[in-house]
Amino acid sequence: MRLPVQVTRQLTLTVFNRSITARAMSFLVSDPKYSFLKELGIRERNPGAFDGAWKASGPVVKSVCPSNGKPIAEVQQGSLVDYQRCVEASDAAWKVWADIPAPQRGEIVRQIGNALRENLVPLGQLVSLEMGKILPEGIGEVQEYVDICDYAVGLSRTLAGSVFPSERPGHVLLENWNPLGVVGVISAFNFPIAVYGWNSAIAMVCGNTVLWKSAETTPLVAIATTKIIETVMERNNLPKSVASLCCGGADVGKAMAADARVKLLSFTGSCDIGKQVGVEVQKRFGKVLLELGGNNALIVAEDADLDMVVRATLFACVGTAGQRCTTTRRLILHEKVYDEVLDRLKKAYGQVVGRIGDALEENTLIGPLHSKQSLDKYVETVKKIIDEKGKIEFGGKVIDKAGYFVEPTIVTGLRHDNHLVHEECFAPIVYVLKTSSTEQAISWNNEVPQGLSSSLFTQSIDNIFKWIGPKGSDCGIVNVNIPTSGAEIGGAFGGEKSTGGGRESGSDAWKQYMRRSTITINHSKGLPLAQGIKFE
């Protein structure tokens, strides 16, 4: 993504008492190519705290485009003072929002979904510009928020309690669900809008208000999304702080974890940070929803359809430049198909490597890594692989162009229990392992600390039921003949073990955003005790 020649000349010749980077940002925001920034209300300088009004007093950070390393705009982050304002406004808004009947809350979420539909392409473009995923994925991420809004609208009319038979005459035993209050969401850079959408749409129809801290490197997506929600709240004369935002650093995240007013904290990020968040929230007996790392295996049995395997594995390994929590990190191949699958996969990599480039360009299949830090981690990991006597079958190099581009990488020669194979490098690196049986492959799948997503390709009914049974995959997502990446909103999304154990999106994930009450009503004149106890 290069600035026009005439712009570059102006950058060199004219400063007007401002820095070159500020001029670059000015031209990027005003360039017709990036008109979607103006459509979404993005300017050169953006306040990153919203409590019903846009203001912030924290440090100024630059949002950088990973496709070219250039700044897009500046964001003034929220400070701890701003955070306090936001959480107080969220708490005050909850007292209004919780009194609104659930179907009416669903109607507001329906309008949010429609507002997102109207901004589907520009918001998807911003995701691609700021995060670095290719445009179809950027638009698809916004669509995911739209879809979860549709799901939540239906949910708003089906939030069910229960009636149980009481053993005591003249008594009724009920179970009821009520909202928690303020729900905090700390999202990660790789899905800068969808994960917030999963949490916010369901939390809102359940009667909660939402306070969002976006990733430090994707503040513009959060600001644009919140502006869209703000218009819906304003149109319905509702408190705009039902959806508050406080862009900020680790200090804001720590404040959210320690704040008893945040009844549930949903955190998406690394296992190490997630462990700290979980402990901090537990100290105050708060509720926590953790979506942490994955080290996902795709197993290929000897009877698998290899055409399907190669197509599925290619996207699962290199899609989003390997920066999905569900990316395939380990490819476990039966020894009878090992050579053929490896050979065909290398050829497939060779076909797509020429289409690595600017995330906004139509022909691009693989975009950049998100940041310089991600690039450095990739380089460091490749060096460790070579030091450990691993073989680079394909890739392994940084691409010499502006931006944070690397070659998708295939590695063989390391044991299944090598420490590198058990660690998640958030980059397009896959370790290929040779197995002698499905049973052995399942044990290798389960031996890593993480437990998010897993896949088995087979035509055998016996293999399938071993895989999905009690001694099969120990992951939260267990797939057959589809890759590890990609999940539908109807099913609960999340993992086990070091992945955190939380569930978002579908199924009964809504229960995490509510508190359960067991209610006994005595409509008689007697006071019988349960279990037949007599106290007279």
Tell me how far apart the alpha carbons of residues 448 and 435 are, in angstroms, rounded to a whole number.
16
Structure tokens at 61: 């950070």
Same domain membership, residue 354 and residue 321? yes
Residue 403 lies in a domain: yes
Would you call 280 a catalytic residue per the annotation?
A: no
Q: Which of 291, 302, 424, 504 is catalytic?
A: 291
Residue 27 lies in a domain: no
DSSP 173: E
Same domain membership, residue 305 and residue 286? no
Of 274, 291, 308, the domain-final residue: 291
Q: What is the pLDDT along the chain (536 residues), one digit of tens a residue?
A: 333 333 332 322 222 223 345 555 766 777 788 999 999 999 999 999 999 999 999 999 999 999 999 999 999 999 999 999 999 999 999 999 999 999 999 999 999 999 999 999 999 999 999 999 999 999 999 999 999 999 999 999 999 999 999 999 999 999 999 999 999 999 999 999 999 999 999 999 999 999 999 999 999 999 999 999 999 999 999 999 999 999 999 999 999 999 999 999 999 999 999 999 999 999 999 999 999 999 999 999 999 999 999 999 999 999 999 999 999 999 999 999 999 999 999 999 999 999 999 999 999 999 999 999 999 999 999 999 999 999 999 999 999 999 999 999 999 999 999 999 999 999 999 999 999 999 999 999 999 999 999 999 999 999 999 999 999 999 999 999 999 998 888 999 999 999 999 999 999 999 999 999 999 999 999 999 888 888 87
Q: 376 lies in which domain range?
A: 296-489
Give Cβ neighbours of residue 208 (< 8 Å, ≥ 6 apart): 94, 97, 98, 179, 180, 181, 182, 183, 263, 264, 513
Residue 8 lies in a domain: no
Same domain membership, residue 330 and residue 249? no
Structure confidence at residue 24 (pLDDT): 59
Residue 455 lies in a domain: yes
Structure tokens at 445: 């799948």
- Please state, in angstroms and as integers, the Cα–Cα distance from residue 153 to each residue in 110, 124, 125, 225, following that order: 6, 23, 26, 19
> Residues 386, 397: contact at Cβ < 8 Å?
no
Structure confidence at residue 20 (pLDDT): 40
Same domain membership, residue 421 and residue 330? yes
> Residues 156, 209: contact at Cβ < 8 Å?
no
Same domain membership, residue 300 and residue 208? no
> Residues 498, 451: contact at Cβ < 8 Å?
yes
Residue 18 lies in a domain: no
Residue found under tokens 């991600």: 374
Of 291, 316, 342, the domain-final residue: 291
Same domain membership, residue 56 and residue 190? yes
Residue 516 lies in a domain: no
Residue 149 lies in a domain: yes
Q: Residue 105, Cβ neighbours under 10 Å: how many?
A: 23
Tell me how many domains the chain contains: 2
Return the half-sphere exposure (C-beta side, CA atoms, 13 A cut-off) of residue 536. 7
3-state secondary structure of 189: coil
Structure tokens at 252: 């804001």
Length, in residues, of the chain: 536
Same domain membership, residue 45 and residue 182? yes
CATH number of the CATH domain containing 229: 3.40.605.10
Same domain membership, residue 274 and residue 300? no
DSSP states along 89-155:
HHHHHHHHHTTS-HHHHHHHHHHHHHHHHHTHHHHHHHHHHHT---HHHHHHHHHHHHHHHHHHHHH
Same domain membership, residue 312 and residue 179? no
Residue 526 lies in a domain: no
Give Cβ neighbours of residue 49 (< 8 Å, ≥ 6 apart): 55, 56, 57, 58, 77, 78, 82, 83, 85, 86, 245, 246, 247, 248
> Residues 529, 522: contact at Cβ < 8 Å?
no
Tell me how far apart the alpha carbons of residues 303 and 457 are, in angstroms, rounded to a whole number.
8
Structure confidence at residue 31 (pLDDT): 78
Give Cβ neighbours of residue 293 (< 8 Å, ≥ 6 apart): 270, 271, 274, 325, 424, 450, 452, 498, 499
Of 259, 291, 323, the domain-final residue: 291
Same domain membership, residue 483 and residue 406? yes
DSSP 270: -
Q: Which of 452, 448, 369, 351 is nearest to 406 (CA)?
A: 369
CATH number of the CATH domain containing 356: 3.40.309.10
Element (H, E) at 421: helix 419-422
Q: One-letter amino acid identity for 149?
A: C
Tell me how far apart the alpha carbons of residues 210 and 199 are, in angstroms, rounded to a whole number.
9
Q: Residue 164, Cβ neighbours under 10 Å: how many?
A: 11
Tell me how far apart the alpha carbons of residues 468 and 464 are, in angstroms, rounded to a whole number.
6
Same domain membership, residue 129 and residue 266? yes
Residue found under tokens 């437990």: 451
Tell me how far apart the alpha carbons of residues 309 and 482 are, in angstroms, rounded to a whole number.
8
DSSP states along 300-369:
E-TTS-HHHHHHHHHHHHHGGGG-STT-EEEEEEETTTHHHHHHHHHHHHHHHGGGB--TTSTT-SB---
Same domain membership, residue 327 and residue 395? yes
